[in-house]
Amino acid sequence: MVSMTVELRTVEGTQAAMGWAGGHTIVVDRPEGRAGGMGLGFNGAQLLALAIGGCFCNDLRYVAEDMGVKLGKVGVTVTVNLEGKPLLATSARMTVSCETLDGSDPRTIIDGANAITAVGNSLRRGVPVEIEMAGDGRT
């Protein structure tokens, strides 16, 4: 089993959060005027779409490398649809363009990436999420 952990903490002077993993950081916030949000970073739905698409971009490269095919430009657009109260992601649609430098049909690479994509497959299968309070719940 492989485990990955990220940390998030409040950005001083704001109600946004800074998230990090290793040396990489990202700001998470709500739109300006919503629950103290200042629009300083991505909201949860945007992060979900980025996780789906970003993972798929990497998977395209992994599959192409395994096949010995060099890729040029890759384009991925992800739309996450949300409904209800509480607001829940009900579906996601990804549109993919993928240029092979040898002119071969990219469909095999796209299909291969779809078969191995960790985020997309985890969501399709349903990943349990547990929440526990740390210590006394205060940071």
**pLDDT of the chain, 139 residues: tens digit per residue:** 999 999 999 999 999 999 999 999 999 999 999 999 999 999 999 999 999 999 999 999 999 999 999 999 999 999 999 999 999 999 999 999 999 999 999 999 999 999 999 999 999 999 999 999 998 766 6
Residue-range definition of the domain harbouring residue 21: 1-42
Instruction: Specify the number of domains making up the chain.
Output: 2
Its pTM stands at 0.92
Q: Are residues 22 and 70 in the same domain?
A: no
Q: Say if 88 falls within a structural domain.
A: yes
Radius of gyration over every alpha carbon of the chain, rounded to an integer in angstroms: 18
Q: Are residues 50 and 117 in the same domain?
A: yes
Other CB atoms within 10 Å distance of the CB of residue 98:
22
Q: Are residues 96 and 50 in the same domain?
A: yes
Q: Say if 132 falls within a structural domain.
A: no
3-state secondary structure of 38: coil
Q: Are residues 75 and 10 in the same domain?
A: no
Rounded Cα distance, 139 and 98, in Å: 44
Rounded Cα distance, 106 and 122, in Å: 24
